[in-house]
Amino acid sequence: MLCEKCGQRDARVKITRIINGVSETHHYCRECAQEVTGQKKINTNEWSQAIFKLLTEMFMQNAQDNSPEMNEKAAGLVCPTCG
């Protein structure tokens, strides 16, 4: 299916709008979908780095927790490859 707006590229984005109870569905290519919605393209590299940073911070926060519960959980962790 081709993009409804440009008619040149494959439609990979489906946008459904409901206005006053009336539903309309449109199919756009990624470039035209960005124009229609006003959203910028997601930079997957930046997104991946942000997720990695968040997970690292969460891990470090938990690693600093020396509660008996955390120590029990950590004691049960074993690498499945090297043991």
**The CATH number of the domain covering residues in 1-65:** 3.30.60
- The model's pLDDT over 47-70, given as tens digits with 9 standing for 90+, comes to 788 888 888 888 877 766 666 666
Give me the mean pLDDT over the 12-19 stretch.
91
pLDDT category at 6 given cuts 50, 70, 90 is very high
Does the pLDDT at position 43 exceed 70? no
Where are the domains positioned within the chain? Answer: 1-65
pTM for the model stands at: 0.47
Q: Are 28 and 36 in contact (CB under 8 A)?
A: yes
